[in-house]
């Protein structure tokens, strides 16, 4: 059993970076990634929004800087133009997406809290990409159901990013698989859920981690068995699973 001194040293050594969700065992290695690859190339607007979000009491909800960089490059690689984001918070991943899209690119962004989105909106506007974003406040499910009802929306999205209520991920998936194009991508965030997906049943977990863990496990199992997609689970941030629709 660790002594109090050992526990204090362990806590003192933990990475203090806001949005730090890396599953790397070494915080020094994560810091190396940030300082070598991420921060030197981070657009000034994303840096500004990251630092602004750091002052918000819910800052752990933000997308990590390395994941933002990953999403930005991924969108460029697939030449995405029409995208969707479910779960926006202050808009760090949204800004990463908007910066990657062409000038006539579009993002349908949904979140239950407009106040958080408007916290980051001035930064997005200053970056000159706000015109690409259509923000809808409220639950995403009714919007998705409405989109699915109109067949012209089927297969119309190049990329969809989901970082929202984990207990609805499977419900989202059954709708999003119709809206993303064949060859397009859906990205589900937090699919390793603080590493709790491999924790024993009696592990001491925070209440919200324990509550959502079963939903994340259920999603991961369902995605692995879904023949409509190819999947790749990456240990970036808190885990992101990319799903490429194949049929």
- Residues 38-76: tens digit of each pLDDT: 999 999 999 999 999 999 988 888 999 999 999 999 999
Please report whether residue 198 resides in a domain: yes
- Global pTM value: 0.89
Those residues with Cβ within 8 angstroms of residue 80's Cβ, 6 or more apart along the chain or in another chain = 97, 100, 101, 105, 158, 159
Q: What is the pLDDT of residue 120?
A: 97
Of 30, 29, 66, 22, residue with least CA distance to 46: 66
Mean pLDDT for the stretch of residues 217-224:
98
Mean pLDDT for the stretch of residues 90-113:
98
Quick one: DSSP state of residue 62?
Answer: S
Q: What is the pLDDT of residue 21?
A: 60
CA distance 141 to 157: 16
Please report whether residue 7 resides in a domain: no
Please report whether residue 20 resides in a domain: no
Quick one: DSSP state of residue 192?
Answer: T
Please report whether residue 19 resides in a domain: no
E strands present in 36-105: 82-86
Please report whether residue 185 resides in a domain: yes
């Amino acid at each position: 059993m660790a002594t109090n001194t050992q526990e204090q040293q362990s806590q003192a050594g933990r990475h203090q970076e806001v949005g730090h969700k890396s599953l790397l065992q070494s915080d020094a290695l994560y810091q190396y990634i940030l300082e070598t690859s991420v921060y030197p190339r981070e657009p000034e607007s994303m840096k500004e929004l990251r630092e602004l979000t750091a002052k918000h009491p819910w800052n752990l909800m933000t997308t990590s800087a390395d994941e933002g960089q990953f999403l930005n490059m991924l969108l460029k690689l697939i030449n995405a133009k029409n995208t969707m984001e479910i779960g926006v918070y202050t808009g760090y991943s949204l800004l990463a997406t908007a910066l990657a899209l062409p000038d006539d690119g579009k993002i349908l962004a949904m979140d239950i809290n407009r106040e958080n989105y408007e916290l980051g909106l001035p930064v997005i506007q200053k970056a000159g990409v706000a015109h690409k974003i259509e923000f809808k406040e409220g639950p995403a499910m009714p919007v998705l159901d409405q989109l699915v009802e109109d067949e012209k929306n089927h297969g119309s999205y190049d990329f969809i990013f989901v970082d929202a209520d984990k207990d609805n991920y499977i419900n989202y998936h059954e709708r999003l698989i119709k809206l993303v194009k064949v060859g397009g991508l859906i990205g589900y965030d937090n699919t390793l859920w603080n590493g709790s997906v491999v924790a024993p049943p009696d592990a001491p977990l925070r209440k919200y981690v324990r509550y959502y863990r079963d939903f994340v496990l259920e999603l991961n199992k369902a995605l692995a068995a879904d023949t409509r997609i190819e999947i790749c689970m990456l240990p970036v941030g808190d885990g992101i699973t990319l799903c490429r629709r194949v049929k």
